[in-house]
Amino acid sequence: MTDAPGIRFHRRMTARDTAEPHRVSSPLELLFDLTFVVAVAQLVVQLAHGLENGHGVDEIAPFLMVFFAIWWAWMNFTWFASAYDTDDVPYRLLTLVQMGGVLVLAAGVPAAFLDQDFRAITVGYLIMRLALVVQWLRAGAEHPDGRTTAWRYAAGVSLVQLGWLARLALPEEFGLASFIVLVVLELAVPPWAERSGSTFWHPHHIAERYGLFTIILLGEGVLAAIYGVQDALEARGFSGDLVLVSVASFVAVFALWWLYFLEPAGEGLSVNRGRSYLWGYGHYGVFVSLAALGAGLEAAVADAGHHVEASATTLAFAVALPVGVFLLLLWATHAVLDTRSQVRPAVILPSAAAVLLVPLLAGTVGVTVVVVVIAALCVLIVAITVADQLRRARG
What digits encode the pLDDT tens for the residues 125-153?
999 999 999 999 999 999 999 899 999 99
Give the confidence band of 58 by pLDDT, cuts at 50, 70, 90: confident
Shared-domain flag, residues 70 and 169: yes
Q: Are 240 and 319 in contact (CB under 8 A)?
A: no
Query: At residue 52, does pLDDT exceed 90?
Result: no
Shared-domain flag, residues 315 and 178: no
Shared-domain flag, residues 85 and 106: yes
In CATH, what number is assigned to the domain containing residue 369?
1.20.1410
pLDDT of residue 214: 95
The DSSP secondary-structure symbol of 173 reads G
Q: Is 240 exposed, middle or buried (0-12, 13-18, 19+ CB in 10 A)?
A: exposed
Mean pLDDT of the 66-80 span: 93
Query: At residue 54, does pLDDT exceed 50?
Result: yes
pLDDT of residue 7: 63
Quote the CA–CA distance of 343 and 70 in Å, as a whole number: 28
pLDDT of residue 3: 44
Among 196, 218, 246, identify where a domain stops.
196
Is the residue at 9 inside a domain? no
With a CB cutoff of 8 Å and minimum separation 6, the contacts of 194 are 149
Is the residue at 332 inside a domain? yes
Name the nearest CA neighbour of 79 among 279, 286, 219, 258: 279
Quote the CA–CA distance of 313 and 295 in Å, as a whole number: 15
Query: At residue 228, does pLDDT exceed 80?
Result: no
Shared-domain flag, residues 174 and 225: no
Percentage of residues in the chain having pLDDT higher than 70? 93
Is the residue at 158 inside a domain? yes
Element (H, E) at 4: strand 2-4
Quote the CA–CA distance of 293 and 65 in Å, as a whole number: 16
Mean pLDDT of the 358-367 span: 90
Shared-domain flag, residues 296 and 184: no
Give the 3-state secondary structure of residue 3.
strand
Query: At residue 158, does pLDDT exceed 50?
Result: yes
Shared-domain flag, residues 382 and 245: yes
Give the confidence band of 68 by pLDDT, cuts at 50, 70, 90: very high
Integer CA distances (angstroms), 267 to 15, 213, 272, 337, in order: 21, 19, 9, 9
Shared-domain flag, residues 78 and 160: yes
Among 153, 179, 196, identify where a domain stops.
196
CA angle (286, 291, 297) in 5-degree steps:
120
Name the nearest CA neighbour of 72 among 16, 125, 7, 1: 125
Quote the CA–CA distance of 52 and 47 in Å, as a whole number: 9
Q: 241: domain range?
A: 203-394
Is the residue at 286 inside a domain? yes
- How many CA atoms are closer than 13 Å to the CA of 223, on its beta-carbon side? 18
Percentage of residues in the chain having pLDDT higher than 90? 52
Give the confidence band of 156 by pLDDT, cuts at 50, 70, 90: very high
Is the residue at 288 inside a domain? yes
Shared-domain flag, residues 104 and 222: no
Shared-domain flag, residues 161 and 297: no
Give the confidence band of 2 by pLDDT, cuts at 50, 70, 90: very low
Query: At residue 389, does pLDDT exceed 80?
Result: no
Among 168, 196, 224, identify where a domain stops.
196
Q: Are 295 and 47 in contact (CB under 8 A)?
A: yes
Per-residue model confidence as pLDDT tens digits over 257-303: 999 998 778 888 888 888 888 999 999 999 999 999 999 998 888 88
Query: At residue 4, does pLDDT exceed 60?
Result: no
SS (H, E, C) 304-356: HHCCCCCCHHHHHHHHHHHHHHHHHHHHHHHHHHCCCCCCCHHHHHHHHHHHH
Is the residue at 151 inside a domain? yes
Least confident among 11-20, 73-82, 101-110, 319-328:
11-20
How many domains is the chain partitioned into structurally?
2
Shared-domain flag, residues 154 and 274: no
pLDDT of residue 19: 83
Query: At residue 248, does pLDDT exceed 60?
Result: yes
Is the residue at 301 inside a domain? yes
Mean pLDDT of the 166-174 span: 88
Is the residue at 19 inside a domain? no
Mean pLDDT of the 66-90 span: 93
Query: At residue 118, does pLDDT exceed 60?
Result: yes
pLDDT of residue 15: 84
Shared-domain flag, residues 39 and 133: yes
The pTM of this model reads 0.91
Q: Are 5 and 35 in contact (CB under 8 A)?
A: no
Shared-domain flag, residues 270 and 375: yes
